Structure 1
Amino acid sequence: MTGLVDVVVIVAVAVLVITRQTRPQRIDHARRWWLVPAVLVFFSLRDPGVIDARHHTEAVVLLAAELLVGVAIGVGWAWTTRIWADPDGSVWGKSTKASLGVWIAGIAVRLGLFGLGAALGVHQGTPALLLALAATLLVRAGILKFRAQSLTSAYGGGSAYGDDVPRAARKERA
């Protein structure tokens, strides 16, 4: 039954993350940005089959590669997210089309790693995927917090990233 629980957790987190990132979201400095990654780590480490005992070395190498891919996706996703500050100083962020490209590339690499593991005969379960997803979310959130802090301190909290780009004037309504 743990396999089913893991699948439900992965799907729920993916749906939550994707739906939250397709619309503007406030980047809060006080929010517990580490909570979802911590829950994912808990779910992944409660399973004793994180490392295949029969193929220990190969399993550790695949897990390390999976974690590196997770970190790379987190970095790419964070740096392709558009952030801006409202006049009241609140910082907002929204994923871009480039962020979608990062996700697609990451999924392709993960599928390649899974195929490599299957070819080597390494038993692979969901714990490695949960750990990599936790790494992705943790790294992304940390970089976004860093970017948000630098944006508010550099621009005094009232400017938006890219304010030097001319924009069309808005029409006033009566």
Structure 2
Amino acid sequence: MSGLVNALVIVVVAAVVIVRQFRASRIDTDRRWWLLPGILAVIALREPDLLDARHHTASALVLAAEVIVGLAMGAAWAWTTRVWVEPDGAVWSKSTKASAAVWAVGIGLRMGLFAVGALMGIHQHSSALMLGLAATLLVRSGILIRRTQSLNQAPAHATAYGDHVPRSAWKERV
């Protein structure tokens, strides 16, 4: 894929994911939560320009930093997401203001990595950003599924994260 197509895929996936996560949504543990991150990773890894041929080691370090930022961002996003169990046993999630801050910091770090790479003369391809996004989504989904499973195993009288947060009278369904 061309760099423009990769950039468009990244923007569309990020926009859809971000918009959906700031609305209350039911978590389905039977769903293939790893599929979208897996597809993004495969697309990113098939690109021949993932590493700059003239700066192989430096571009590999910048790529590794991008993936580490993606992993950290995914974990932070998952832990700042409000998760609760409805009386019928359904588990719901909704990103919080802290989640928005995680996104802002993550985007800032990624822009900083791009700037450092550009200063070093490294040709950076959009597939590195796509690989970082895949890492973010994979870690976030995995942690949320794990949190969901632990909530489903909790006794009925146990409280969930965010139970004492006021809720609106209605929920948006996805």
TM-score (norm. length: structure 1): 0.90
Match of 1:94, SS state, is strand
Distance (whole Å) between structure 2 residues aligned to residue 9 and residue 91 of structure 1: 29
Distance (whole Å) between structure 1 residues aligned to residue 42 and residue 165 of structure 2: 47
Q: Percent identity?
A: 57
Distance (whole Å) between structure 1 residues aligned to residue 158 and residue 33 of structure 2: 23
**1:69-122 Cα deviation digits (max 9, x unpaired):** 000000000000000001111100000000000010011111111000000000
Match of 2:37, SS state, is helix
Match of 2:26, SS state, is strand
Match of 1:71 in 2: 71
Taking structure 1 as reference, are residues 90 and 108 closer, same or farther at Cα in structure 2, changes over 3 Å only? same
Computing the radius of gyration from Cα coordinates, the structure with the larger value is 1
Match of 2:83 in 1: 83
Asked whether the equivalents of residues 82 and 93 of structure 1 are also in contact (C-alpha less than 8 Å), the reply is yes
Taking structure 1 as reference, are residues 65 and 30 closer, same or farther at Cα in structure 2, changes over 3 Å only? same
Match of 1:142 in 2: 142
TM-score (norm. length: structure 2): 0.90
Distance (whole Å) between structure 2 residues aligned to residue 76 and residue 166 of structure 1: 20
Segments of structure 2 that go 5 or more residues without pairing to the other structure are 170-174
Match of 1:92 in 2: 92
Match of 1:155, SS state, is coil
RMSD: 2.0
Aligned pair count? 168
| Deviation >2 Å, runs of 4+ | 155-163, 165-168
